[in-house]
Amino acid sequence: MFYPSERALATSLLDAAAQNDSFPGLPRPRQQVLIAFAPNRAKFQEWAGPHAPEWGAALAFPESHRIVMQGRSSGSDAGNPRDVFRHELAHLALHEYLGDMPPRWFDEGYASYAAREWTRDDALATSLALALRGTPTLDELDEQFTAGSVTAQNAYALSYRAVTELAELDTASGLTRFMESWRTTGKLDRAVRETYGMTLADFEHRWAQRTRRRYGALALVGDATLIGLILMFAVFPLYLARRQRDRKRFAAMVAADEAADRAARESVLTELLRGDEASETGAEQRPEPPT
């Protein structure tokens, strides 16, 4: 569903989706989906509902098999439309196969993984919170998606890293065996144990440790540079003010020295003049010798 102004974008995205209609670890989706391309932000908010985040560019509604996406009017910060569209389709494909079992962190991490959103790592490389406080727990990630734009972007990036770590544990089949086990058992922890031979807590520790080791130092260096720039801008005006005070103080000292020199010279000149006057007066009062 689209307005005439969105026809080119809509047909382009649908053609790309038809050419790449499968998702990692899942069978090919078969559900029919309603996709609505909004011509402007106001219409997007109307279709998406009151709970849509201000920074969102697209939303998937698995329970109604529906996607609402901004059209040509979306800003450059919305990301590549093809990646955004595939991200939302991945949500629907995941829920078609697993229902409501996936927690929010896996749901968002999987959609980013399926859309190959590699730039998610950039948020971790500049995250001071990751460098100083470390990674949150997987349960805490679920709460961070609604905690503001910056925190949410970090949560997306961390979730992407978690799903990527899971997929890399099985280089042969990726997420396929894990997804099948999860669907069969209905339990995330049991699927992790059966597929990868570790508990969910063990995986969480591995993911947190590797993520902090890989990105924590980068974030700290990047933020140290930023902090240095902030301090420079904060301290530089104080430095200039001190330099100005020092110049004024030095000028006052020079003026005082010059005044003292002038006073000393005037004092010496006065003494000399007084000496000359005394000599002339003495000569006038001395009697002339007899002739």
Q: Has residue 184 been placed in a domain?
A: yes
Q: What would the mean pLDDT of 77-96 be, rounded to a whole number?
A: 91
Residue at which a domain ends, from 222, 237, 252: 237
Of 10-19, 90-99, 140-149, 230-239, which gets the smallest average pLDDT? 230-239
**pLDDT band at 149; cut points 50, 70, 90:** confident
Looking at the structure, tell me whether residues 78 and 134 fall in a common domain: no
Q: Has residue 36 been placed in a domain?
A: yes
Percent of the chain with pLDDT over 70: 75
Q: What would the mean pLDDT of 135-161 be, rounded to a whole number?
A: 87
Looking at the structure, tell me whether residues 142 and 17 fall in a common domain: no
Looking at the structure, tell me whether residues 113 and 180 fall in a common domain: yes
Q: Using a cut of 0.95, tell me whether the model's pTM lies above it.
A: no
Q: Has residue 92 been placed in a domain?
A: yes
3-state secondary structure the chain: CECHHHHHHHHHHHHHHHHCCCCCCCCCCCCCCEEEEECCHHHHHHHHCCCCCCCCCEEEEHHHCEEEEECCCCCHHHCCHHHHHHHHHHHHHHHHHHCCCCCHHHHHHHHHHHCCCCCHHHHHHCCHHHHHHCCCCHHHHHHHCCCCHHHHHHHHHHHHHHHHHHHHHCCCCCCHHHHHHHHHHCCHHHHHHHHHCCCHHHHHHHHHHHHHHHHHHHHHHHHHHHHHHHHHHHHHHHHHHHHHHHHHHHHHHHHHHHHHHHHHHHHHHHHHHHHHHHHHHHHHHCCCCCC
Q: What is the pLDDT of residue 266?
A: 72
**23 against 247, higher pLDDT:** 23
Q: What is the pLDDT of residue 22?
A: 94
Residue at which a domain ends, from 98, 120, 145: 98
Looking at the structure, tell me whether residues 75 and 171 fall in a common domain: no
Looking at the structure, tell me whether residues 51 and 123 fall in a common domain: no
Q: What is the pLDDT of residue 238?
A: 67
Looking at the structure, tell me whether residues 94 and 105 fall in a common domain: no
Q: Has residue 81 been placed in a domain?
A: yes
Q: Has residue 204 been placed in a domain?
A: yes
Q: What is the pLDDT of residue 218?
A: 45
Looking at the structure, tell me whether residues 64 and 163 fall in a common domain: no
pLDDT, tens digit, 9 for 90 and up, residues 200-229:
999 999 998 888 887 765 444 444 444 554
Residue at which a domain ends, from 237, 253, 282: 237
Count of domains forming the chain:
2
Looking at the structure, tell me whether residues 116 and 87 fall in a common domain: no
Q: Has residue 175 been placed in a domain?
A: yes
Looking at the structure, tell me whether residues 70 and 106 fall in a common domain: no
Q: Has residue 248 been placed in a domain?
A: no
Looking at the structure, tell me whether residues 92 and 106 fall in a common domain: no
**235 against 237, higher pLDDT:** 237
**pLDDT band at 130; cut points 50, 70, 90:** low
Containing structural domain, residue 88: 1-98
Looking at the structure, tell me whether residues 45 and 120 fall in a common domain: no
pLDDT, tens digit, 9 for 90 and up, residues 188-204:
999 999 999 999 999 99
Q: What is the pLDDT of residue 187?
A: 96
Q: Has residue 261 been placed in a domain?
A: no
Looking at the structure, tell me whether residues 143 and 177 fall in a common domain: yes
